């Protein structure tokens, strides 16, 4: 039985047409997934019929037979209450000043049911797998972990037993192991007959849980059908790009370029910083970390957030504090951060996570890329620098037309390409990739990743890659080091670590 | 914002350039026209209780108010920027200690500190703007510190270090250009603040002293005489309010433009 | 919550102590004596006066005595209002100032918050533009301009309200309005900005998605986070009201604390000025404390 059917849905915001003739349906107890890159209109398609997105919708959307399109706000309200909505970013989608219990109670009452007692509320939290549910009722959202918040978000969305659950990217703020747990939870809820409309950019992941999939691009459905069929035999380029952009650890890794002589050796690195407050004790961020990187070798430094991986990498690149330990470059000791020589600066260059914040908003693209050339290659005159900048822009597939632009005129992917060009300018032998693709949209991240693969092979670059996503890391890296609580707990060849993970932290990252 | 800029420019130009062309100076007493009505005996806006030309006095008062305000705002800019930049750049305990001082000063009743200073050291125009500048720098210090602190850990500053730029080049090339617009926007918001403080002090008789005049003194004198010559209150009051509204608009406009 | 309060007190007490010390030494460092203002005194009379008020003792002894008396709530004798102690003057003036300030704060918060809400609900609409215009004007209206102008219009011209003095509630209307206007303008602007930001946030969409009425969305979900900037403004607003009251009391001839302060400052009545400054510093620190408490109520994240 069809619970929710959308036909010829279009949406205009001002003069811009955002959605064109979208159609899909969700049946009782089943899950339909809308998949696409950011900006493809997948979230808009879910929210516009319910009046929860800007703009004017036309076409048809029927919830349990009742038409939504064309209704005004007071008429839409009771229909919204028949569905349940779980938004992405639960950290901001729950009201910060109300306790979990109050928000759950409000969700039930808004759905038309009498006010539930405390036991019933605790049972709702229990149903989504929250430990100690009774105590959590009096807690505020900020006290919960990211995974718990997402569970609470879902619990509030289904508190009034809606006939349809709309879940917008319920897993995108979570790391790999939690993603499966949340999707399993949604599968369980369906067993009571609830229909689920799922929005995601991760096609391989949702295809495991959804019955039907519609792939969106630029506001249109480009492909739809049974989930398994779409994943195994994608018909359009967009779908294939989406499959490729979310690499999976189940498929064999790519062939990587060969490695050479030892390049960088870090031995017993410690980083401690002063605690916050006057007499707070020192905080140890990294403790006794050792690793080596050879010419042309890529090492992935993985761990959950706060494990110290970024701090360690910055210490090694002499861009952050280092308290103790020894760092050698081709056997020679590297001096401290404040006594850096041009030689080492030239050899190691960073690329950061947030591409927009990586570029000074006042500087042109050409000036940013030329910055390392001015300081590290003083032998070049202005003309030679300009020629280098043009060549670098070509190398990162932007073209010299970008030279005079400013960061505000660049997309995220373009800005990250500029940051990569700047890192390559002085001809480094090792680049530090600090979560360099994780702030980007899924398709853009995929393209940046293949650019990095090409540069790795062309320039015989050594790479130190900081990441929380092992699948992304494997497409570049020979070896993997796993960090937890400031220590490297396990390291070795990538495939060996995948097949026989030793430490619990490694297994956690693998989601097993 | 365009209208506000035009208004401020017009008031400033009139206050600076017009007085020499008026038939009466701001301190000249016309014994034949005490409390004259507007447009009588060559006084366009009339005269005050001792026969001084209201237009000339208002323009002179505006000039003093604007001069004191600009000077005091500059004092606030210098102290605030230096304090905030040092705290933000060095961070950690330096930051904490410096910001505690600012917090402590924030808790003081500003105006009373200035008044006490005036009482203790006598009333001089230098002290007026030093005193005002010295208490108005606190917000500037907070804003600049926040900005520097945010910039300090921006990846582009780190990338600049990785590019081998010496600290001086990072400060000049990256930090200053990114802090300056915000500091200037807050400077523009500080000026109306200072205009109010100066007028307040002068109104109480603690600011600028005779024979100099300022908008605050004029409002005070006008208030004493308002039952007979209401314009002596309304004209300087209107100029003061118009100036503050327009300056606020400019400052807010600049800040919003930066936020985008 | 308790940790925040303790930390606040840990800064408040040294600050208050620093205020006492600074004002004490400033006053003693001042050139001239409080008795200069009157006719020149012969040396003997002057010495007798200095002795009577303890001004001939060593500075540290004077400080010690002042602090000891202060601890018992005794601010010393007024040098100008002979036969009055500063404490008595404060006891006389404070209730009037507190009533004036309290009423003005209440009026400012009510009009400011409701104006800000009216503006934020229809961004760009006529109510928004009207509120924005009124608020921009109000923040630029200092009490020493609005006070006399309001008195001119409503007392002298229209003869509706008393022009000065304290006789009955009607005589408080103009002073309260003049005092409240700039604060109301600032509160309206803060509420307008805070609320329009909050209304665009995700958790408000969540509340709407539950099918709640617009009123419930505004009241339960949007208003509390939107008022956080207003609460942060509370302490500066209190300071602004106290200073504004100085002028308003002078303009409207109300026998409040502010008028004593101005008289004291003009006459170099050190104990009186010091007493009022210390009291005001204490009041502002107290408002900081209240603001912190409210802050924790509106945003549980601030409770740590």
Lowest mean pLDDT, pick from B34-38, B190-194, C39-43, C86-90 = C39-43
Q: Work out whether strand A31-35 and strand A56-63 pair parallel, antiparallel, or are unpaired.
A: unpaired
Spatial separation of the C-alpha atoms in residues B58 and A362, rounded to whole Å: 43
In this model, does residue A278 exceed pLDDT 70? no
Domain ranges in chain A?
Answer: 2-238, 294-324+335-510
Contact list in B for residue C18 (CB cut-off 8 A) is: 104
In this model, does residue B24 exceed pLDDT 80? no
Cross-chain CB nearest to C277 (options B109, B219, B227) = B109
pLDDT of residue C32: 57
Would you call B219 an interface residue with chain C, using a CB distance cutoff of 8 Å?
A: yes
Which CATH number does the domain housing residue B249 bear? 1.10.3720.10
Residue A150 phi, psi dihedral angles, 5° rounding = -65, -40
Q: Is residue B31 part of a domain?
A: no
- Under CATH, which number does the domain C89-256 receive? 1.10.3720.10
Contact list in C for residue A142 (CB cut-off 8 A) is: 300-301
Q: Of A48, A69, A77, A93, which Cα lies nearest the Cα of A197?
A: A48
Are the Cβ atoms of B237 and C11 closer than 8 angstroms?
A: no
Are the Cβ atoms of C246 and B111 closer than 8 angstroms?
A: yes
CB A129 within 8 A of CB A185: yes
Would you call B197 an interface residue with chain C, using a CB distance cutoff of 8 Å?
A: no
Q: Is residue B117 part of a domain?
A: yes
**Taking residues A3-26, what's their average pLDDT?**
92
Residue B159 CA, chain-centre distance (Å), reads 39
Would you call B200 an interface residue with chain C, using a CB distance cutoff of 8 Å?
A: yes
In chain B, the residue whose alpha carbon lies closest to the alpha carbon of A341 is B164
Cross-chain CB nearest to C273 (options B116, B121, B245) = B116
**Taking residues A240-263, what's their average pLDDT?**
80
Interface test with B, best of A315, A362, A415, A438 (most B CBs within 10 A): A362
In this model, does residue C1 exceed pLDDT 70? no
Angstrom CA distances, A273 to A466, C268, C304, stand at 21, 52, 22
pLDDT, tens digit, 9 for 90 and up, residues A139-170: 988 888 878 888 899 999 999 889 999 999 88
CA distance, residue C231 to nearest chain A CA (Å): 15
CB A213 within 8 A of CB A47: no
**Taking residues B229-247, what's their average pLDDT?**
87
Window A:90-129, CB contacts with C under 8 Å: 92-98, 106-107, 110-111
Q: How would you class B43 by CB atoms within 10 Å of its CB: exposed for 0-12, middle for 13-18, buried for 19 or more? A: buried
pLDDT of residue A64: 92
Crossing angle of helices C2-29/C270-298, nearest 10°?
A: 160
**Taking residues A246-264, what's their average pLDDT?**
81
Q: Work out whether strand A487-493 and strand A479-484 pair parallel, antiparallel, or are unpaired.
A: antiparallel
Q: Of C171, C177, C167, which Cα lies nearest the Cα of C155?
A: C171
Are the Cβ atoms of B156 and A357 closer than 8 angstroms?
A: yes
- Under CATH, which number does the domain A2-238 receive? 3.40.50.300
Interface test with C, best of B108, B229, B259 (most C CBs within 10 A): B108
Cross-chain CB nearest to A376 (options B93, B156, B163) = B163
Interface test with B, best of C12, C133, C141, C148 (most B CBs within 10 A): C148
Confidence of residue C34 (pLDDT cuts 50, 70, 90): low
Spatial separation of the C-alpha atoms in residues A289 and A282, rounded to whole Å: 18
pLDDT of residue A420: 95
pLDDT of residue A305: 75
Q: How many domains does chain B have?
A: 1
Confidence of residue A61 (pLDDT cuts 50, 70, 90): very high
In chain A, the residue whose alpha carbon lies closest to the alpha carbon of B164 is A375
Q: Is residue B143 part of a domain?
A: yes
Would you call C79 an interface residue with chain B, using a CB distance cutoff of 8 Å?
A: no
pLDDT of residue C67: 84
| 3-state secondary structure at position C131 | helix
**Taking residues A413-434, what's their average pLDDT?**
93
Chain A, chain C: beta-carbon pairs less than 8 Å apart: 66
**Taking residues A82-88, what's their average pLDDT?**
91
Q: How would you class C38 by CB atoms within 10 Å of its CB: exposed for 0-12, middle for 13-18, buried for 19 or more? A: exposed
Contact list in C for residue B120 (CB cut-off 8 A) is: 26-27, 29-30
Are the Cβ atoms of B104 and C18 closer than 8 angstroms?
A: yes
Are the Cβ atoms of C140 and B248 closer than 8 angstroms?
A: yes
Are the Cβ atoms of A98 and C221 closer than 8 angstroms?
A: yes
Contact list in B for residue C247 (CB cut-off 8 A) is: 200, 203-204
Window C:31-60, CB contacts with B under 8 Å: 31
CA distance, residue C121 to nearest chain A CA (Å): 15
pLDDT of residue B151: 86
**Taking residues A454-472, what's their average pLDDT?**
90
CA distance, residue A143 to nearest chain C CA (Å): 8
In chain B, the residue whose alpha carbon lies closest to the alpha carbon of C269 is B119
- Structural domain span for residue B171: 2-15+43-259
In chain B, the residue whose alpha carbon lies closest to the alpha carbon of C267 is B119
**Taking residues B135-164, what's their average pLDDT?**
88
Angstrom CA distances, A237 to A21, A36, A392, B194, C125, stand at 20, 12, 29, 63, 46
Cross-chain CB nearest to B156 (options A340, A359, A372) = A359
Q: Of A422, A481, A412, A417, which Cα lies nearest the Cα of A454?
A: A417
Crossing angle of helices B215-224/B54-90, nearest 10°?
A: 130
Spatial separation of the C-alpha atoms in residues B57 and A490, rounded to whole Å: 82
Spatial separation of the C-alpha atoms in residues C151 and C162, rounded to whole Å: 8
pLDDT of residue B259: 65
Cross-chain CB nearest to C26 (options B116, B204, B206) = B116
Are the Cβ atoms of A352 and B155 closer than 8 angstroms?
A: yes
3-state SS string for A48-88: HHHCCCCCEEEEEEEECCEECCCCCHHHHHHHHHHEEEECC
Spatial separation of the C-alpha atoms in residues C203 and A202, rounded to whole Å: 24
Q: Which chains touch A (3 or more CB pairs under 8 A)?
A: B, C
pLDDT, tens digit, 9 for 90 and up, residues C192-219: 989 988 998 889 999 999 989 989 999 9
Would you call C137 an interface residue with chain B, using a CB distance cutoff of 8 Å?
A: yes
Q: Which chains touch C (3 or more CB pairs under 8 A)?
A: A, B
Contact list in B for residue C250 (CB cut-off 8 A) is: 204
Would you call A8 an interface residue with chain C, using a CB distance cutoff of 8 Å?
A: no
In chain A, the residue whose alpha carbon lies closest to the alpha carbon of C225 is A97
In chain A, the residue whose alpha carbon lies closest to the alpha carbon of C297 is A97
pLDDT, tens digit, 9 for 90 and up, residues A329-355: 998 888 888 887 788 899 999 999 888
In this model, does residue C38 exceed pLDDT 70? no
Q: Is residue B22 part of a domain?
A: no
Q: What is the mean pLDDT of chain A?
A: 89
pLDDT, tens digit, 9 for 90 and up, residues B197-234: 888 888 887 777 777 788 888 888 888 888 777 888 88
Are the Cβ atoms of B164 and A348 closer than 8 angstroms?
A: no
- Under CATH, which number does the domain A294-324+335-510 receive? 3.40.50.300
Neighbours of C132 (CB within 10 A): 17
Domain ranges in chain C?
Answer: 89-256
Would you call A140 an interface residue with chain C, using a CB distance cutoff of 8 Å?
A: yes
Contact list in B for residue A341 (CB cut-off 8 A) is: none
Confidence of residue B149 (pLDDT cuts 50, 70, 90): confident
pLDDT, tens digit, 9 for 90 and up, residues A186-221: 898 898 889 999 998 888 788 888 999 999 998 999
Terminal CA-to-CA distance of chain C, rounded, Å? 7
The better pLDDT of the pair C59, B254 is held by B254
Contact list in B for residue A353 (CB cut-off 8 A) is: 155
Window C:182-211, CB contacts with B under 8 Å: none
């Amino acid at each position: 039985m069809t619970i929710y059917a959308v036909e010829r849905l279009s949406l205009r915001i001002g003069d811009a047409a955002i959605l064109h003739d979208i159609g899909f349906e969700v049946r009782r107890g089943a899950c339909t997934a809308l998949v696409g890159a950011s900006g493809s209109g997948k979230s808009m398609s879910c929210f516009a019929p319910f009046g929860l997105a800007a703009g004017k919708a036309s076409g048809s959307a029927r919830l349990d037979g009742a038409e939504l399109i064309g209704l005004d706000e007071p008429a839409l309200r009771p229909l919204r209450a028949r569905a349940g909505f779980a938004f992405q970013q639960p950290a901001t989608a729950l009201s910060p000043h109300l306790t979990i219990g109050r928000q759950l109670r409000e969700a039930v009452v808004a759905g038309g049911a009498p006010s539930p007692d405390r036991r019933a509320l605790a049972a709702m939290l229990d149903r989504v797998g929250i430990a100690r549910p009774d105590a959590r009722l009096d807690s505020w959202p900020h006290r919960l972990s990211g995974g718990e918040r997402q569970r609470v978000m879902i619990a509030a969305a289904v508190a009034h037993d809606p006939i349809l659950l709309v879940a917008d990217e319920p897993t995108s703020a979570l790391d790999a192991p939690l993603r499966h747990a949340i999707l399993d939870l949604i599968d369980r809820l369906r067993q009571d007959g609830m229909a689920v409309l799922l929005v995601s950019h991760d096609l391989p992941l949702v295809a495991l849980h959804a019955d039907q999939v519609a792939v969106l691009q630029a506001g249109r459905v480009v492909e739809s059908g049974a989930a398994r069929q779409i994943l195994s035999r994608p018909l359009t380029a967009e779908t294939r790009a989406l499959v490729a952009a979310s690499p999976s650890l189940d498929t064999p890794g790519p062939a990587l370029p060969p490695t050479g002589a030892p390049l960088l050796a870090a031995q017993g690195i410690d980083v401690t910083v002063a605690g916050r407050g006057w007499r707070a004790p020192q905080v140890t961020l990294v403790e006794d970390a050792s690793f080596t990187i050879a010419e042309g070798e890529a090492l992935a430094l993985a761990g959950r957030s706060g494990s110290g991986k970024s701090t360690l990498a910055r210490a090694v690149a002499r861009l952050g504090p280092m308290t103790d330990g020894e760092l050698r470059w081709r056997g020679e000791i590297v001096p401290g951060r404040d006594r850096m020589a041009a030689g080492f600066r030239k050899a190691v260059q960073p690329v950061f996570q947030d591409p927009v914040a990586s570029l000074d908003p006042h500087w042109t693209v050409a000036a940013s890329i030329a910055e390392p050339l001015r300081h590290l290659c003083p032998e070049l005159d202005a003309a030679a620098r300009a020629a280098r900048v043009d060549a670098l822009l070509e190398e990162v597939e932007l073209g010299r037309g970008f030279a005079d632009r400013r960061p505000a005129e660049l997309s995220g992917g373009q800005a990250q390409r500029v940051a990569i060009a700047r890192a390559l300018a002085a001809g480094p032998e090792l680049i530090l990739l600090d979560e360099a693709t994780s702030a980007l949209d899924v398709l853009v991240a995929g393209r940046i990743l293949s650019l990095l693969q090409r540069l790795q092979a062309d320039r015989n670059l050594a790479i130190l890659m900081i990441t929380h996503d092992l699948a992304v890391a494997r497409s570049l890296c020979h070896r993997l080091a796993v960090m937890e609580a400031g220590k490297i707990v396990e390291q070795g060849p990538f495939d060996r670590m995948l097949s026989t993970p030793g430490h619990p932290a490694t297994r956690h990252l693998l989601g097993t | 914002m365009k209208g506000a800029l035009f208004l401020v420019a017009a008031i400033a130009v009139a206050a600076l350039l017009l007085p020499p062309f008026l038939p009466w100076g701001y301190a000249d007493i016309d014994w034949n026209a005490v409390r004259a009505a507007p447009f009588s005996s060559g006084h366009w806006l009339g005269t005050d209780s001792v026969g001084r030309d209201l237009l000339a006095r208002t323009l002179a008062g505006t000039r003093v108010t604007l001069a004191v305000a600009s000077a005091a705002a500059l004092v606030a800019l210098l102290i605030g920027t230096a304090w905030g930049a040092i705290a933000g750049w060095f961070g950690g305990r330096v930051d904490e200690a410096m910001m505690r001082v600012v917090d402590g000063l924030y808790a003081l009743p500003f105006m009373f500190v200035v008044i006490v200073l005036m009482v203790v050291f006598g009333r001089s125009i230098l002290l007026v703007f030093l005193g005002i500048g010295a208490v108005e720098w606190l917000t500037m210090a907070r804003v600049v510190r926040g900005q520097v602190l945010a910039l300090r850990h921006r990846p582009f500053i780190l990338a600049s270090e990785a590019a081998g730029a010496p600290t001086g080049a990072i400060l000049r090339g990256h930090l200053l250009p990114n802090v300056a617009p915000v500091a200037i926007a807050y400077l523009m918001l500080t000026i109306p603040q200072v205009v109010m403080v100066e007028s307040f002090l002068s109104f109480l008789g603690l600011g600028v002293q005779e024979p100099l005049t300022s908008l605050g003194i004029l409002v005070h004198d006008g208030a004493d005489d308002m039952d007979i010559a209401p314009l002596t209150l309304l004209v300087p009051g209107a100029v003061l309010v118009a100036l503050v509204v327009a300056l606020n608009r400019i400052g807010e406009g600049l800040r919003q433009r930066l936020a985008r | 919550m308790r940790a925040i309060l303790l930390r606040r007190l840990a800064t408040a007490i040294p600050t208050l102590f620093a205020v006492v010390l600074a004002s004490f030494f400033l006053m003693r460092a001042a050139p001239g004596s409080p008795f200069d203002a009157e006719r020149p005194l012969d040396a003997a009379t002057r010495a007798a006066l200095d002795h009577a008020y303890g001004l001939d003792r060593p500075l540290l002894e004077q400080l010690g005595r002042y602090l000891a008396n202060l601890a018992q709530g005794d601010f010393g004798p007024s040098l100008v209002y002979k036969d009055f102690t500063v404490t008595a003057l404060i006891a006389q003036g404070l209730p009037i100032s507190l009533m004036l300030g309290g009423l003005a704060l209440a009026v400012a918060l009510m009009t400011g918050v409701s104006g800000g809400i009216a503006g934020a609900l229809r961004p760009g609409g006529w109510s928004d533009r009207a509120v924005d215009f009124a608020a921009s004007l109000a923040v630029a209206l200092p009490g020493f301009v609005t006070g006399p102008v309001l008195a001119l219009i409503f007392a002298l011209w229209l003869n509706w309200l008393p022009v000065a003095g304290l006789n009955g509630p009607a005589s408080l209307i103009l002073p309260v309005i003049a005092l409240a206007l700039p604060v109301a303008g600032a509160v309206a602007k803060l509420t307008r900005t805070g609320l329009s930001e909050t209304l665009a946030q995700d958790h408000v969409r969540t509340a709407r998605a539950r099918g709640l009425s617009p009123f419930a969305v505004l009241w339960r979900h949007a208003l509390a986070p939107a008022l956080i900037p207003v609460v942060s403004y509370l302490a500066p607003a209190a300071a602004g009201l106290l200073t504004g009251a100085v002028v308003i009391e002078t303009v409207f001839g109300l026998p409040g604390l502010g008028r004593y302060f101005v008289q004291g400052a003009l006459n170099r009545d050190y104990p009186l000025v010091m007493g009022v400054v210390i009291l005001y510093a204490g009041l502002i620190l107290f408002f900081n404390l209240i603001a912190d408490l409210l802050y924790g109520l509106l945003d549980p994240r601030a409770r740590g």
